[in-house]
Amino acid sequence: MGRRGRLVLGIAMVLLGLFTTIAGLAIVLLVGPDGSVGLAPTRLLGAGSALTLPQLDVPRLPRHETVVVDVGLAMGETPMFIGVGPSTAVDAYLRDVPIDVIEQIDWPGAARTTPIPGTATPRPPTAQPFWVASVQGRAPSLHWDAEPGDWTLVIMAVRPASPLDVTVHGSVTIPVLGPLGFAILIAAIAVLALGVWITARAASRDPSPPAAS
């Protein structure tokens, strides 16, 4: 490979290493060594009888690792319920019930919801048999070792009522993300260092003198 080729290769490796280093550093700072992503206390307002988070599509992870979900509510005057159930069962339970769907959770401390109109009054959530994890109280805190599947998280009053005004906090832990972030960061730094070395060598080497005529 000629000098020009080595210079192009070195610059390409520097750019690749730089962008990958930024990505690896972001993963390390975001999830930490245990693979946990925290949710800052976020106030959620709902005009309906329930707040739902339907995007809990849990994948099957390698080596029998699990996704751990922790969700809690700040202390309030009204006994509240937090539950996770199969999306099809939750949809049937809340059919025609006015709810607010959590479309996006922004960091830190903000969320966007979409109201879904309805006129039905839901039955008490504690009487439903389909929850795979649930908790109730004035400051309920749910810990769930998630199984692969399509799930929906529901927050509502133990005695269904509206409107809702709650402050939510929690975290999602995917253990494999912790070491993965460090592995990406180490590999990226190595690529960046090698690219800098190749570029410096190619740039500092004098071009070959022109052949004598």
Q: Mind giving me the DSSP string for 30-75?
A: HHTTTTEEEEEEEEEEESSSEEEEEEEEEPPPGGG--EEEEEEE--
- pLDDT tens column, 4-36: 777 777 778 788 878 887 777 766 666 767 777
Identify the CA nearest to 184 among candidates 23, 12, 35, 1: 23
Residue 178, pLDDT score: 65
Residue 141, pLDDT score: 97
Who wins on pLDDT, 1 or 190?
190
Asked whether residue 207 carries a pLDDT value surpassing 60, the answer given is no
Both structure tokens of 123: 């039955």
Highest mean pLDDT (candidates 50-64, 155-169, 195-209): 155-169
- Name the burial class of residue 18, with classes exposed (0-12), middle (13-18) and buried (19+) by CB atoms within 10 angstroms of its CB: middle
- pLDDT tens column, 41-97: 999 999 999 999 997 887 776 666 778 899 999 999 999 999 999 999 999 999 999
Average pLDDT over residues 172-188: 73
> What's the whole-number average pLDDT of the chain?
84
